[in-house]
Amino acid sequence: MKKIRTVQGDIPPHQLGQTMIHEHVILDLSHIRQDKDPILSDDAMMNEEINRLMLAGCGGIVEVTNRGMGRDVESLYQVSAKNQVPIVAATGYYKQDYYPKEVFEQTEEEITELFIKELIEGIEGTSIRAGIISEIGSSLDDITEDEKKVFRAALKAQKATGAPLSTHCELGTMGSAQLDLMNQINADFSKISLGHQDLNGSREEYEYLLGAGVYIQFDTIGKNSYRTNEERIEDVLFLLEKGWASQIMLSTDITKKSYLKVNEGFGYEYLFTTFIPELKNRGVSEEEIHLMMVENPRRFLAF
């Protein structure tokens, strides 16, 4: 029987509620960005934020922080337990500029084995296992040779385990090129989701990707300096009208303390308090919301 692998153990899919498909809860990118804002920790501020999120209707979080991004699965376990929310942890490497030194030294086969080990045995000496390979990234308008190596390793680990795989498309770019790489490995598109497509804005590319069978994520909702809420809503409405509801998933991709609602940012809850109500106001049905927020994540994450 397929299960969803969370930091507190495997659960049957029906235990997962409305799920944010691409988030960061424990994160530290300060060593790259030379800034303390992109540090998220298991502290009073985060737990208040997660409590607010749960009250808004969230029933699951996919945490895509991976190796080299300040991943701390023991802290994730604590946040999950304290707030009684299922959290899925990730194995993977992000993108070239964020790779730890080990990525350049390892072979493709070694990276594959590492990802498999973190999915099957545990992460960094713990018994906590990853439930997704994510966020496997490409750079802006480019996939470097080292990124291709990591992508191939991720795809091979996905094929070996059946685990879900989620990608990072920098500002929504390179989705089609990622798809080309996946075709070379003969990937299982039903277990692959392409990230940050709401930053793309190309309806032609949306349909090209969806037509291949992958999921796409509208996962930077609330980051209105990149694209307006209205633009994202219009794109979602277009895709729903075209019949793609069963391949779309939503999230906010919080990466900074300043984004948190408790710090007067938009917060994780923005998806539930602003974006989804606006979709409903524009005629999106409860069934379509349920597909994007519950059924699609359950189907995608179970292996």
- Mean local confidence (pLDDT), 257-266: 96
What pLDDT, on a 0 to 100 scale, did the predictor assign at position 177?
96
Residue 141 has pLDDT above 90, yes or no: yes
Are 57 and 97 contacting, i.e. CB atoms less than 8 angstroms apart? Answer: no
Determine the average pLDDT of the residues in 28-39. 92
Taking the C-alpha atoms of residue 150 and residue 152, their distance in angstroms, rounded to an integer, is 5
- For residue 157, is pLDDT > 90? yes
Mean pLDDT, residues 195-222 taken together: 97
Q: Is the pTM of this model over 0.75?
A: yes
Q: Would the pLDDT of 38 be above 90?
A: yes
Per the structure, the complete domain to which residue 148 belongs is given by 4-301
- pLDDT confidence bin for 66, thresholds 50/70/90: very high
- CA 284 – CA 272 distance, rounded (Å): 14
Percent of the chain past pLDDT 70, that is, above it, reads 100
Which of the four pLDDT bands, split at 50, 70 and 90, describes residue 155? very high
d(CA 1, CA 98): 36
Tell me the CATH number at 218: 3.20.20.140
Confidence of residue 135 (pLDDT cuts 50, 70, 90): very high
Q: What is the pLDDT of residue 32?
A: 86
pLDDT, averaged across the chain: 97
Domains in the chain: how many in total? 1
